[in-house]
Amino acid sequence: MAKVEFNIACTLCDHLKDSLFNGLNPEDMSRINNHKTCIQYKKGQNIFYEGTRPTGLYCMNGGKVKVYKNNVQGKEFIIYIAKPGDFLGYRALLSEDFYKATATVLEDAKICFIPKESFFEVLQKNPVFMRRVVQAVCNEMGIMEEKLAELAHKSVRERLAANLLMLKETYGMEGEGSTLIELALSREDLASIVGTATETVIRLLSEFKTDGLIAFEGKKIRVLDARKLAKQADLIIA
Amino acid sequence: MAKVEFNIACTLCDHLKDSLFNGLNPEDMSRINNHKTCIQYKKGQNIFYEGTRPTGLYCMNGGKVKVYKNNVQGKEFIIYIAKPGDFLGYRALLSEDFYKATATVLEDAKICFIPKESFFEVLQKNPVFMRRVVQAVCNEMGIMEEKLAELAHKSVRERLAANLLMLKETYGMEGEGSTLIELALSREDLASIVGTATETVIRLLSEFKTDGLIAFEGKKIRVLDARKLAKQADLIIA
DNA sequence: AATCAAAACTGACAAAAGTCATCTTTTTCG
DNA sequence: CGAAAAAGATGACTTTTGTCAGTTTTGATT
């Protein structure tokens, strides 16, 4: 599987508006642009591995990537799923640390690599950009705190419902009275997001389907009744 | 319960060396020092509440504070326990967000409050300090990722053992062949750290005690056999 | 189209952990 | 000091979830 390069100017990137690079001044933008390398990845390829050192920042231009940790028994826990516009691997980069997770392509992806030096240069010279990055990191931390509490005290059923709603928010394609989650997840991956066994996800999904909360469309899930799903997630009391 | 003020110059603070303020230039240091308000809190008092807006940064000078989230049923999950030298509430401050957790005093505490403006001023003027703060935040994020995976896939027994070892690392007082955890935690708080029911913690602790892994000293726990505890935590295979 | 492998699914069962009720011990505070 | 409250402990029981074993379906490949 040879790595296929491609090239697109950051200023012309479709996802610039969703990215932290948005609003960068021309000088900084070209610094990033001139040093980046863009590569196309196929499903299943790895972007980086837990335990290795980051040498730069990945910026998603297309596709989906899962970032996950493996435990001793080889069980996966998916920390998040990156979509176009997202940065990848900046946590380890900013804390001068090893990667604490592995990144693998879920759907064929186009990803630009920005060398550490260029990224840090812009970060140092541009306090506004620095401020935005800090804000983004802290925001993500807030989300993780939320997840921690959820994992600690919610049942698998509640967590699955909550995660389906979350996926709907992030990857949802609005239809008439229903929303298609534009993400072809295997049951196994969904289990790794929720933090449970594959069989349990299968059973619960088919319950949700029987109850008319969701429907299956190929490998994708359509949310039919978000309100009832929220009730299952224990987000609504009534 | 009236709030009791106290005063101590940052430069003379015993915990400066453990703090992110360490190494600050005299100008920035005095900016922080001149605007801070230091207050003594009693066990059980709250420092800040989930859902409110931060107006500044708390810097611990003494005591212990738990930062936790309450779920719908009122069950607590403790995100971390702050000790002298630690910053408190900077996540919400930096992401311009509400507090996503509540902070309550576990052991009588002395805490200095630095107004938002002063903190941001130093942050803006001092890129080295900014860099260190970012590094600290990202480091903490790495720890939270670890916790997430642990919570998702480890048993309560493993998590309790792992958390006892963690507490030993952070609050441990080395003795001869054993370590006293210098933190008077109730069984309930320990359960909120591990993410389980109080009864389960009680049962497991008494098993650990029977097996000679730990001993109780008043409200505190002494780790007798860290190696066996690590085995229980599934950190060592053999 | 036939074959193979992976993914999805199902059922039976066991283990883990939560809940509830009750009792004892410790702590707090008037 | 003594009463009341809080924390700790224990047993019985239920529920949830994981595991294992096996079957069916789907999808990819030749």
Residue A5, pLDDT score:
85
Q: Which nucleotide is nearest to B195 (CA to C1')?
A: C17
What average pLDDT does this structure show over B27-44? 95
- Strand ranges in B89-156 using DSSP code E only, listed in sequence order: 102-115
Distance of alpha carbon B28 from alpha carbon A86, whole angstroms: 35
Residue B237, pLDDT score:
52
From the CA of B42 to the C1' of D2: give the distance in Å: 26
Q: What is the pLDDT of residues B44-78, one digit of tens each?
A: 999 999 999 999 999 999 999 999 999 888 899 99
Name, in order, each residue with C-beta under 8 angstroms of B15's C-beta and a sequence gap of 6 or more.
Answer: B60, B61, B62, B84, B85
pLDDT for residue A187 is more than 80: yes
Residue A237, pLDDT score:
52
What average pLDDT does this structure show over A156-168? 97
CB of B84 closer than 8 Å to CB of B60: yes
H helix intervals, A13-126: 26-35, 90-94, 116-125
Question: Residue B159: its chain A contacts at CB < 8 A?
Answer: none
pLDDT for residue A126 is more than 90: yes
Nearest-CA neighbor of B153 among A69, A234, A49, A162?
Answer: A69
Confidence of residue B238 (pLDDT cuts 50, 70, 90): very low
Nearest-CA neighbor of A98 among A67, A53, A47, A46?
Answer: A53
Mean pLDDT of chain B: 94
Residue A1, pLDDT score:
47
**B236 — contact with chain A (CB < 8 Å)?**
no
Token pair, residue B82, equals 């702050």
Q: What is the pLDDT of residues B135-167, one digit of tens each?
A: 999 999 999 999 999 999 999 999 999 999 999
Considering only residues B57 and A237, tell me which one the structure prediction assigns the higher pLDDT: B57
User: Can you give the three-state secondary structure of A160-171, one letter per residue?
Assistant: HHHHHHHHHHHH
Q: Which of B145, B159, B163 to mutate to test the interface with A (most CBs of A within 10 A)?
A: B145
**A5 — contact with chain B (CB < 8 Å)?**
no
Enclosing H/E stretch for B80: strand B76-82
Residue A238, pLDDT score:
45
Considering only residues B2 and A149, tell me which one the structure prediction assigns the higher pLDDT: A149
Q: What is the pLDDT of residues B95-123, one digit of tens each?
A: 999 999 999 999 999 999 999 999 999 99
Token pair, residue A150, equals 């959820």
Residue B2, pLDDT score:
52
Q: What is the pLDDT of residues B160-185, one digit of tens each?
A: 999 999 999 999 999 999 999 999 99
**B25 — contact with chain A (CB < 8 Å)?**
no
pLDDT for residue A136 is more than 50: yes
**B156 — contact with chain A (CB < 8 Å)?**
no
CB neighbourhood size of B35 (10 A): 15
Give me the residue from A77, A138, A139 closest to B153, CB to CB: A77
CB of B32 closer than 8 Å to CB of B87: no
Q: What is the pLDDT of residues B81-97, one digit of tens each?
A: 999 999 999 999 999 99
Burial class, B169, CB count within 10 angstroms (exposed 0-12 / middle 13-18 / buried 19+): exposed
Give me the residue from A69, A79, A139 closest to B97, CB to CB: A139
pLDDT for residue A81 is more than 90: yes
Name, in order, each residue with C-beta under 8 angstroms of B80's C-beta and a sequence gap of 6 or more.
Answer: B66, B67
Percent with pLDDT over 70 in chain B: 97
pTM for this prediction: 0.93
Nearest-CA neighbor of B233 among B145, B168, B179, B141?
Answer: B168
Confidence of residue A144 (pLDDT cuts 50, 70, 90): very high
Partners of B86 in beta bridges: none
